[in-house]
Structures are given as C-alpha cells and as structure tokens.
Structure 1
C-alpha cells in the first residue's frame, strides 16, 4: 500500500486555492494513553485542523521544550512503542480521512529499520515523516524508501540556515518545508517576530514547496499573523498544554476542540 503524500499535497493545495492557510496540529502518540491520544487527535482534526503530526515519543527530544517533553515522558512511562505510533496513525487517518504524518527523531527509525518503518507507515495510511535531526546529506536511505512507499520527507529549516544549505534541504524534501519561526526548542511564545516572515521569503526563493511555520505559535492572533505569509501554521505545545492542564478527559477534549476551532477560524480569516 502506498502512503498518502498525494493526499497531503492535495490538502495543502486546496487550502491555497481557497485563499487560506492550512492548520497543522501536533500531538504525541500515547499521551496521556494510546486510546485517549487517538481521541484527542481525532477531536483536533474534527474541530478544524487540516493535517496532523503524530509525535513519536523519544527519551532525548532535543528540539522539544518542557511541555512536549512532559507529554513524551508520560507516553514512554505508559509503555508507548513504535507499534503504538503506527496504530495511532492508522486509527486517526481512518476516522478522519485527513493527512497524518509522524514527527520523529532519526534514532528510533534507524533502530526499527528504515525500510520496515517506511513500509509500515505507508500501510497505516501515513502521509510521511518530519525528521528534525536527520541531516540532509545523510538522508538518502530514508528518502529512497519514502519515495518507494509514497511518503513525504519534511525537513526543518531554521533562521540560521545559510543559503547554500537552504537550497540543499528544500531540493531533497517533499510535502512541505517546516520553517522554525525562531531559534530554540518548541513551546509557546509571547510573540512570533519578523524573523519567521523573512525565513519564509528566503525559502520561497529556492523552492515551490509549501512553507509551513511552527514553534512558538499558540494563539489565534499569532496563527492569523503567521497565516498572512505562510502556507501552513503548525501548533503543538499549546494543544499539549491544554491536555496537561485539564482536570479530566472530558475537559481535555473540550479544551482541544475549543483551541483548535479558534486557530482554524484564525487561519481561515
């Protein structure tokens, strides 16, 4: 079975043709449990998110701030493994019909087996992978398997990425380019500065891939501002925090739906 890169491409294109920005939600698999995580992810997509990133919990999450680290720790202590991540992808995609990617550090994929992971992700209906710590010059084995199985390879670029490397990264990637709005780890910020807009301009000068901005976006106003210059707005920590802060499952789902709905309205305005 082929993966869903075509569905991802069509989703991003349809939003652009409608004159709006795509909303991409992130939540880690297995948090707070596998089943409750699936319910929360489905709720976010049903509330207006266009695309979902499923985080693969990792013990050394170098890009992630304290909120996502806390959620990943809960998932790992609960016994979440790669099979649970793939099960999550399958169930959420089956329930919503929307594109679902996995965001993962490279070590778990390498240890699991590159071909095995790509094959099973495609079989689960996944659209691709976001690989924050895989250098583009070391990515050939993954990109070969991704292309074979119809999966996107999404690389992250930062404001510090120089022009030569930016060209290399965007040429190797597919699906979209993940633009980090600022330097540092994930987490909510009081504001998202002009750095993100400048980075998007630099990326668009070297590729026709959609550019989606993440890290630090947590409010409807921030989403609307970033939506003014990006093809996609990525929100993770704010959704995870909504789950962490809720007193019970019902309140957690309400919080996820409410936040996602406000963000979806913002990027459609």
Structure 2
C-alpha cells in the first residue's frame, strides 16, 4: 500500500475525512509553491494535488486558467514540477498527486514521465483529459512505476461506464460534483449524496469530491458524504490575491 492508500486507511480508522488541496505549480513561483505545500501540511492538509500548468486547460475555470498562464509565463515546466516534488519529498511524506493534461506528458515522454514522477516521490497522477479508452499506454508505464492512476467520475457517468472506470481505478475516485469547469458553480448536495451512494454500492475505494467547493459549509456537508473533499479554485484565488503579501 502506498502513501495514498495508507492515508485514507488511517483517516477511515479514525472516522476522519481527507482534506485535499490543489494548487498550480509555479504560481507565483516554484519556490513559493514548495513552501506553500509544506505550510499546508503543517496546517492539517492530508493530500496535495499539484497542478501542472498547461496552455489550454479546458476542464479548469477562469481562476485556475489564469494561474496556469501566470505559471507558464514564469517558465514553469513539467521537469520543474518534478524537481520541486523531489525537494518536498526530502522534507515531507504528504501524499502528492500530479494533476494535469496529457499534452505535457506526451511531449515529455510517457515512460520517462512515469519513471521520473515515481523517482521524485509522486504518489499518483490524474490526467483530466485522458479517458480510460485512451489511457492504455500511459497506464502501462504508471502501473510499472507504482503510481496510482486516479480516475474521474462525473454526474453524467452511466452505470456501465462506471463499471469500466472502477476496473482500472487506483488510489481514490475523484467525483466531479458539477457539470462544467472547476470553480464556476455551487455543488448540489442532494445530487452528490445520491451519486456517492450509488458509487459506494459498487466499490469500497475512497471517494473524494471536488469542483465547486468554496466555503466551509459546503466542505462540511460534502465531507459527511464522501471520504475526502478537494479544494482548488478557492485556494488558487487566495494565492493570487496575496501574491505581494509577506504572509503568503
């Protein structure tokens, strides 16, 4: 069992839920990203999602799109992201998921990416624009490297497709609470409760809910339904608003 599995098992044993935080690597700089991650761990965050900036982040809302553009302008690359993962791993054992799009991985080389991501200390990857039907080659390399390949489940995912997704799922399931892009709408609690209950009947894998969670009340309600919650746009927005603050 890897760090992700151990974290969820430990939290379940204590009847606790995972707080997962997303931030965009390189916004405002890779050095600051590293310090933010270490600070988030000290503040009680359980799992980190590091967003690899990409020029056409179609699943992301305006907040994360802008963060990606800022990071790219400062010269952030996939290689640079892997370097800060390695630096973080020297100081922390917090589980790390690399979140991004397939194009940078393809340009880097799928086999080399999987090997170097594992070597750096990443625990899982989530490729938001790579459906299961097209993930075969990358999965060969990530499985060989021991990386958990995190799968997405959406409100529109039918039962038959869910069965296929579950066959290849690892680490945890990421349930998208809204249709659309990140951070642009409020999740509907009743709908989430229904969908999470449906998934629970088919798997014991941990379920984390993300997209659209922006305040403590939402986090508390959704946390009661799932094994974890993912906070992304709200954190990225705070980082942007405080880039010139000494307390960032």
TM-score between the two structures when normalised by the length of structure 1 = 0.89
Is 1:102 matched up with 2:98? yes
1-side partners of 2:4 and 2:35: how far apart? Answer: 21
1:54-74 CA distances to partner (integer Å, 9 max, x unpaired)?
A: 000000101100111111100
Residue 217 of structure 1 is matched in structure 2 by 213
Aligned length: 248
Match of 1:200 among 196, 201, 223: 196
Match of 1:61 among 27, 41, 57: 57
What runs of 5+ residues in structure 1 fail to find an aligned partner?
Answer: 253-269
Q: Which has the higher helix share?
A: 1
Residue 113 of structure 1 is matched in structure 2 by 109
TM-score between the two structures when normalised by the length of structure 2 = 0.96
2-side partners of 1:44 and 1:68: how far apart? Answer: 18
Residue 142 of structure 1 is matched in structure 2 by 138
Shift of 1:190: 4.6
1-side partners of 2:147 and 2:243: how far apart? Answer: 37
2-side partners of 1:94 and 1:201: how far apart? Answer: 39
What runs of 5+ residues in structure 2 fail to find an aligned partner?
Answer: none
Is 1:232 matched up with 2:228? yes
Contact 1:154 1:177 survives alignment (8 Å): yes
Is 1:15 matched up with 2:40? no
Match of 1:162 among 154, 158, 168: 158
**Aligned-pair RMSD on alpha carbons?**
1.4
Match of 1:86 among 71, 74, 82: 82
Match of 1:243 among 227, 239, 243: 239
Shift of 1:221: 1.4
Q: Please, which moves more after superposition, 90-99 or 235-244? A: 90-99
2-side partners of 1:93 and 1:242: how far apart? Answer: 25
